[in-house]
Amino acid sequence: MITRRLLLISAAAISFASTALAEGKLKVVATFSILGDLVAQVGGDRVEVTTLVGPDGDAHVYQPSPADAQGVADAAVIVANGLGFEGWMDRLVEASGTAATVVIASNTVTPIAFAEAVEEAGHDDHADEHADEHAEEHADEAHDHDHAHDHGAQDPHAWQNVTNVAIYVENIAAGLTAADPEGAATYKANATAYLAELSVLDADIRAAVAALPADRRTIVTSHDSFGYFAAAYGLTFVSPQGVSTEAEASAMDVAALITQIRDAGISAVFVENIADPRLLEQVASETGAKIGGTLFSDALSGPDGPASTYLAMMRNNLTQLTAALGS
């Protein structure tokens, strides 16, 4: 009697398990490339990740396509950043009629207000430039946006602080486990391994910054997405005056940028959308500031680029920053 029940239960369990296996991997949709990478790290072979905003993409202005809606509809789990990063997300979820669970990666992360440093150093300029910059630059790279007016008070780029990403990973693991309890052990193991790498990364960043001279920790960049990085690791990010449009620079613009750099004691300049790199060199040589390479903030690079995974991205940024700021 007991044996028959045991057998029946086992049969049911096995058929259940095989059904789960027969259905294939867990379909997860990540909103942008950084989350996509994190989900892949945690989910491993058990998940099939689709990313909406791909490498070098701009999530702030992304327009979902019908194919995206289809992907979302089929998904079991959707992982989004939250904090107002994906303004288009809610409508997409609703429109697709998906039954997926939405995991907000930044759940329980302490948000910070939008970069005050940006506001100090010439917010008024940006109010004017804003209209032009958005019109011109929307279609282009992901790196050059001023979003002070897009997101209200909160800075969504929480992943720039590695400890926040640890929280992201735990939220993701929890979400995957809830949708796929079978994989709980796998998810936990992957997450733990990744968390270890994250803490190494965090320690490295702190050490590298600590090694920098105290007076060489300010940089100029047109990105405004490094608020969390600045707060966590002690660098100061400042936005450039003038000289960031495609049009021919005037002496007034160049002088303003030089003055800003001198007055704020800035040591490195990372501005990628000045039309003439020689102009940048001129500015750098006159002020003694160094010119930095490319920083990645809102998206990963393509698979051949220097920031193809989250870890690679942070390490790349760290290398660029220390190279420019180191003496």
Residues at the site binding other proteins, with contacts judged by CB under 8 A: 247-255, 258, 275-276, 278-279, 281-283, 285-286
CB of 178 to other proteins, least distance (A): 48
Residue from 26, 59, 166, 66 nearest 108 by CA? 166
Give the residue with the Cβ less far from other proteins, 177 or 260: 260
CB of 125 to other proteins, least distance (A): 12
CB of 224 to other proteins, least distance (A): 24
Give the residue with the Cβ less far from other proteins, 45 or 276: 276
Nearest-angstrom CA–CA distance, 180 and 18: 14
CB of 265 to other proteins, least distance (A): 18
Give the residue with the Cβ less far from other proteins, 192 or 250: 250
The tokens for 47 are 């998940």
Give the residue with the Cβ less far from other proteins, 234 or 293: 293
CA distances from residue 13 to 36, 63, 183, 187 in whole angstroms, order as listed? 32, 43, 15, 21
Residues 6 or more apart from 237 whose CB is under 8 A from it?
Answer: 115, 117, 118, 218, 219, 220, 221, 223, 224, 226, 227, 229, 230
Give the residue with the Cβ less far from other proteins, 4 or 278: 278
Nearest-angstrom CA–CA distance, 249 and 235: 29
The tokens for 188 are 């936990």
CB of 46 to other proteins, least distance (A): 41
Does residue 272 contact residue 246 with C-beta atoms inside 8 Å?
A: no
CB of 281 to other proteins, least distance (A): 6
Residue from 160, 233, 166 nearest 203 by CA? 233
Give the residue with the Cβ less far from other proteins, 94 or 248: 248
DSSP annotation of 25 reads S
Nearest-angstrom CA–CA distance, 283 and 248: 15
